[in-house]
Structure 1
């Protein structure tokens, strides 16, 4: 078996790989960088796949690739799935080759959760949504068929439903909540959020889970718990991801809802770091957590790249996450959970801040159409032990 050596080897070809390669280059301009990716595209800006590519005519496909190889000199191996990591030998097996490394970064992300249906269409009419190839497939379907079902009411599901209906597709959104967004938003805000979709023409099937069904060349039939059925020409799953920790577990690394890393993003094995969706890290404001959003991919990727190259710096950034549908944009820092107590501070019907409290201590901040306030939200979390409810109203504008 052939062996190829890289000073820095990255397993995973997403946005973390791109930002890590750039972080390496800030300190090491010549060390060899290898990226093993099971994708068919070089690293690209993932949020555009469910947002701007559907809604912004000026955001064209040429803006999607990140230019990782050209900018950093990384050797990117596409369609290359790593199958084993041997920490003591500092080797990774992938696609019939062995890759040896000086430093290893695991940025394996996750795999989209599939639907529990019998897919006789070979993926033509039933798809998950994670990659640029998935976007191209769904885009083609959106132009060729009349009705598409979206399953899942979280970030991806809601964004896809908005994208499809705004592109003239008869769209039905199936989700398990009583009201769209009710797992994260206070009741009145969830009602307003769902109304955006209904007003745009999305058919919403609430309180429903897909239990079975089938897809074939003619369309899809989805069987819901309780026996009701939904029919469409195609279906896309937006049910989130299963975090890809298999390689790390098999290699003996500490795993607990992600690959466990320290403040410098080092795993429990010498010479191996982890970052992005797959990493469970100690956030300086919020405690240990795993974050599946682009800001974390970019910032943690750069930080881990610098540390691979010897910086020895703690990752101190508390990431934010965001979504944009029907002209509204919301951003959040920390924990959003509608079961928590909240303090709502609305400037008007379309602009406001929601604070989420656990035992009267702020643990999350939602910014609804409020720009340039992420640092202010982080400051609230940093000062949470000293703030009263009265301190919160009017604090962020």
Structure 2
């Protein structure tokens, strides 16, 4: 029986230790987390939790008692500071812990604004942890003026919540359109119109020059010279893989902790999964920032730690909730050269189908769960329906999936 240590008590870490026990591993399992809270869901933080519609305990991935009941040593408020690969030990808050196998599920960290432009002023927030949201929640009051920096999904979700709370919302995106990195112009246009209908003032192709204020933010100057009076700022400019520990241990890091198809790092007894891991996929090395990947990859790594010798085959899917719209995404759209727009069956529903030539890559479905379900099924099966058939509202999607 081997002693297994997992560093990072997020979605991937929790899934990994639970899978180890479910597979019958009888050795010692230690799960180390920096936060004081047991592993919890992150997606609701910028939605229901910020709105006050979800209690803290409902965020927990598993009941707090789960870990003790399954003989998992959960160490919260603990920071792993170093890995001694030769002696197979890690140092946590001054204490050494031995391992036979080690998994790094350290996740990611929110990118922040540089201090030189006001990133350290009070009232400037990011959305990554429960503590982040707890800190901003008292400031999210009706009538308050908030600037959202970044037009990705995190920024748009925060804008939607602030708008619902009655705040005066301005969003700036330095790229030429919101969601430019992750979605087609058609999807960007859909969400631009949605936010405009809720009085969110969106500035595209415009960056933030600086924030103003002595100790607390009170305004902003945009790159086009526009000056804004503000009460708070929410920064949603992406996340970075948490690789510092891996780098200091001499593991190979290339836009994430580099692993093979089974989740093994450059050290044969150290594994990685989740947001922090970069892995081979269709001839490339990718990193997936999603709940689905964190769970599936972590469970695959758990199997391989116990000798399964199994390659990880991801089937990517994502989602975002904004106002009364649920966006569901199946597949990865990288490399697309054509987007097919298919109207949904009810008002406001639509799906965007991404093709590379004749090959279906991905689907964005807005309030259209049937299109999402059918598209996801076809992508996973390697099927590519004709674009003209998808675009025709008279085409029965279910029949296409069965063809």
TM-score for both structures, normalised by structure 1 = 0.87
Partner of 1:238: 236
In 1, Cα distance between the equivalents of 2:8 and 2:339? 38
Root-mean-square deviation over aligned CA pairs: 2.8
Is it true that 1:52 corresponds to 2:48 in the alignment? yes
- Single out whichever of 368-377 and 144-153 deviates more from structure 2: 368-377
CA drift of 1:308 comes to 2.6
In 2, Cα distance between the equivalents of 1:28 and 1:105? 18
CA drift of 1:51 comes to 1.9
Distance 1:173 1:386, change over 3 A: closer
In 1, Cα distance between the equivalents of 2:147 and 2:40? 26
2:320 to 302, 320, 323: 323
In 2, Cα distance between the equivalents of 1:37 and 1:319? 26
- Single out whichever of 367-376 and 61-70 deviates more from structure 2: 367-376
Partner of 2:200: 202
Q: Partner of 1:265: helix, strand, or coil?
A: coil
CA drift of 1:63 comes to 0.3
1:252 to 227, 234, 250: 250
What's the CA shift string for 1:271-293, capped at 9, x where partnerless? 1110000112234x685421101
In 1, Cα distance between the equivalents of 2:174 and 2:397? 33
For this pair of structures, how many residues does the alignment match? 390
Show structure 2 runs of 5+ residues with no match: 399-403
In 2, Cα distance between the equivalents of 1:66 and 1:131? 14
Q: Partner of 2:140: helix, strand, or coil?
A: helix
Which residues of 2 match residues 206-225 of structure 1 at below 5 A? Answer: 206-225=204-223
Partner of 1:308: 305
Distance 1:365 1:165, change over 3 A: same
- Asked if the contact 2:336–2:355 (Cα under 8 Å) also holds between the matched residues in 1, the reply is no
In 1, Cα distance between the equivalents of 2:252 and 2:362? 28
In 2, Cα distance between the equivalents of 1:381 and 1:39? 37
- Relative contact order (C-alpha < 8 Å, sep 6+): which is higher? 1
TM-score for both structures, normalised by structure 2 = 0.86
Is it true that 1:297 corresponds to 2:294 in the alignment? yes
CA drift of 1:46 comes to 0.7
- Single out whichever of 117-126 and 267-276 deviates more from structure 2: 117-126
In 1, Cα distance between the equivalents of 2:73 and 2:382? 45
